[in-house]
Amino acid sequence: MGTNNVVASYDPTALFAGAFPVRQRVVTLASGANLAGAPLKRGALLGRVTATDKYILSVATASDGSQVPAAILAADTDASAADVKTPAYFEGEFAGEIMQIDASWSIAAVQAALRQANSHLYVRSVGTLG
């Protein structure tokens, strides 16, 4: 007879910060979403540009729709020269300190924006990494 014991370990570099179900789908990252040679990293906080239905790094001070956090990039992606289809998370719990978040955001502000948007994305502070 086997046992169902699960041993968990803490990984301070893990993007996921909890057991909430993770769901992803493919989105279009807009051309020019990043500078050449500096792809957006897995864990980047994305916003959806309303006029194009394409995603870029969410900036709190934007006014094109991307100021509302909508997804988290699931893989390093370079969209410096052209639109790129890439996976993004729409549900799950994520470690804010591991994510690529624009300087216009704090983790607390991202949490509040996600709550206001009734999102199933949860960004947690896991503490200072060092």
Q: What is the pLDDT of residue 18?
A: 78
Q: Is the dihedral of CA 44, 25, 82, 14 positive or negative?
A: positive
Q: Is residue 3 pLDDT above 90, yes or no?
A: no
Q: Is residue 84 pLDDT above 90, yes or no?
A: yes
User: Could you say which DSSP state residue 45 is in?
Assistant: E
Residue 16 pLDDT level (bands cut at 50, 70, 90): confident
Apex 12 CA angle, 6 and 16, nearest 5:
65
Q: What is the pLDDT of residue 12?
A: 56
Model confidence, pTM: 0.87
Query: 23-123: what fold?
Result: Virus Head Decoration Protein; Chain: A, (2.40.300)
CA distance 130 to 121: 25
For the chain, domain boundaries: 23-123
Q: Is residue 8 pLDDT above 80, yes or no?
A: no
The DSSP line for 47-102 is EEETTTTEEEE--TT--SSTTSEEEEESS-B--SSS-EEEEEEEEEEEETTTSB--
- Residue 65, by phi and psi: left (phi above 0), alpha (psi -120 to 50) or beta? left
User: Region 32-40: what's the mean pLDDT?
Assistant: 93
Q: What is the pLDDT of residue 17?
A: 86
What percent of the chain is modeled with pLDDT above 70? 88
